[in-house]
């Protein structure tokens, strides 16, 4: 089953059109906005004015933490106040909380990202703490996505660079998916794979130009990330967007917490897994370096032995997900040699 966003708006200054955007999605009178304290202070007034001018009543839920319990609180509040939509306003935390709350409550949600650090703004998968697993799981895709390029460009540059790491990860994610098709007979969707790869290819081709982070550059990156999330919705799984490189990132979350952003670790994982697949990994290194995104684990404060442990641990994170790491079964010594040969630590 494919669940896709019904409407997507990307542009400069479009945060002021949020009220009209939500009303166009269907009958609505009351909404619940999920955000963080910093984002509310930054764009809260504009959001309230836009919703009010469209005749909509809004209540706020300011989340300090991203946990299952908080998502349950949001769902309860949304149901008790009989809102028509939950609006996730902010970075990955607010959007993922809204996504899970929408899943729990049965109320649709609208994604309004204020940063572009990964493709979660459009995917049906949520990454929440306290769920006894370090990876994303199926929740609910957004009914609509409104991405204001000016707001996203104003976020810390490191976040957009992390988004580029998540873009390039599609190269090894799709390669792992092809491997699962060939070795295990797993379903492989050529269209979803091609759509996901398109964003990665755009990054490789435009990384040196995107380093300036002009409004046009940010728009292209955001559109590519949205397309990646939509590819996952088409596939019905995260296969086109998440493979062995994501498993390495998730393993690092467990053994080296708070070291680097998700997309940064995925970018480094992509270098390693590309080399393992026999792909042109040096091309990925050049692209990451040219835009200023980390290309070594040392830049994130992660040493070679820790990274080697994460590589060995990675297949156990999702044993049902067949990837190149399932096939080659590296030892820590093998992993250290891979790390050395790819010069990532």
Measure the CA dihedral 227/68/160/289, to 10°.
Answer: -100
What pLDDT is recorded for position 132? 59
Q: Are 269 and 246 in contact (CB under 8 A)?
A: yes
What pLDDT is recorded for position 316? 96
What pLDDT is recorded for position 19? 97
What pLDDT is recorded for position 2? 78
pTM above 0.75, yes or no: yes
CATH superfamily, region 158-342: Dehydroquinate synthase-like - alpha domain (1.20.1090.10)
Domain ranges within the chain, ordered by starting residue: 7-153, 158-342
133-156 as b/e, with b when 16 or more CB fall inside 10 Å? ebbbebbbbbbbbbbbbebbbebe
Q: In this structure, which topology does domain 7-153 adopt according to CATH?
A: Rossmann fold (3.40.50)
Q: Are 275 and 285 in contact (CB under 8 A)?
A: no
Digit-by-digit pLDDT tens for the chain (345 residues) are: 777 899 999 999 999 999 999 999 999 999 999 999 999 999 999 999 999 999 999 999 999 888 889 999 999 999 999 999 999 999 989 999 999 999 999 999 999 999 999 898 998 888 876 665 666 777 888 999 999 999 999 999 999 999 999 999 999 999 999 999 999 999 999 999 999 999 999 999 999 999 888 999 999 999 999 999 999 999 989 999 999 999 999 999 999 999 999 999 999 999 999 999 999 999 999 999 999 999 999 999 999 999 999 999 999 999 999 999 999 999 999 999 999 999 998
What pLDDT is recorded for position 65? 86
What pLDDT is recorded for position 133? 62
Distances (CA, A) of 171 to 223, 224, 331, 339: 17, 13, 24, 19
Residues in the chain: 345
């Amino acid at each position: 089953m494919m669940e896709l966003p019904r409407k997507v708006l990307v542009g400069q200054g479009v945060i002021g059109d949020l009220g009209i955007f939500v009303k166009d999605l269907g009958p609505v009178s009351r909404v619940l906005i999920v955000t963080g304290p910093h984002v509310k202070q930054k764009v809260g007034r504009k959001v309230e004015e836009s919703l009010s001018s469209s005749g909509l009543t809004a209540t706020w839920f300011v989340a300090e933490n991203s946990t299952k319990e908080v998502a349950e609180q949001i769902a309860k509040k949304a149901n008790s106040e009989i809102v028509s939509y939950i609006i996730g306003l902010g970075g990955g935390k607010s959007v993922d909380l809204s996504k899970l709350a929408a899943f729990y409550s049965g109320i649709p949600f609208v994604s309004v990202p204020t940063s572009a650090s990964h493709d979660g703004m459009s995917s049906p998968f949520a990454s929440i703490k306290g769920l006894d697993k370090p990876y994303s799981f199926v929740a609910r895709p957004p009914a609509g996505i409104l991405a204001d390029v000016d707001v996203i460009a104003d976020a810390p540059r490191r976040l957009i660079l992390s988004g580029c790491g998540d873009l390039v990860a599609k190269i090894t994610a799709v390669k792992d998916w092809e491997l699962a098709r060939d070795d295990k007979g797993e379903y492989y969707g050529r269209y979803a794979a091609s759509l996901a790869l398109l964003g990665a290819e755009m990054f490789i081709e435009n990384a040196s130009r995107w380093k300036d982070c002009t409004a046009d550059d940010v728009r292209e990156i955001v559109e590519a990330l949205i397309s990646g999330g939509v590819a996952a919705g088409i596939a019905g799984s995260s296969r086109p967007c998440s493979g062995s490189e994501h498993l390495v990132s998730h393993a690092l979350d467990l053994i080296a917490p708070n070291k680097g952003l998700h997309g940064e670790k995925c970018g480094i994982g992509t270098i390693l897994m590309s080399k393992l697949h026999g792909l042109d990994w040096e091309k990925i290194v050049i692209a990451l370096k040219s835009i200023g995104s980390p290309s070594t684990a040392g830049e994130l404060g992660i040493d070679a032995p820790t990274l080697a442990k994460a590589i060995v641990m990675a297949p156990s994170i999702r044993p049902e997900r067949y990837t190149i790491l399932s096939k080659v079964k590296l030892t820590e010594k093998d992993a250290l040699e891979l790390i050395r040969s790819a010069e990532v630590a």
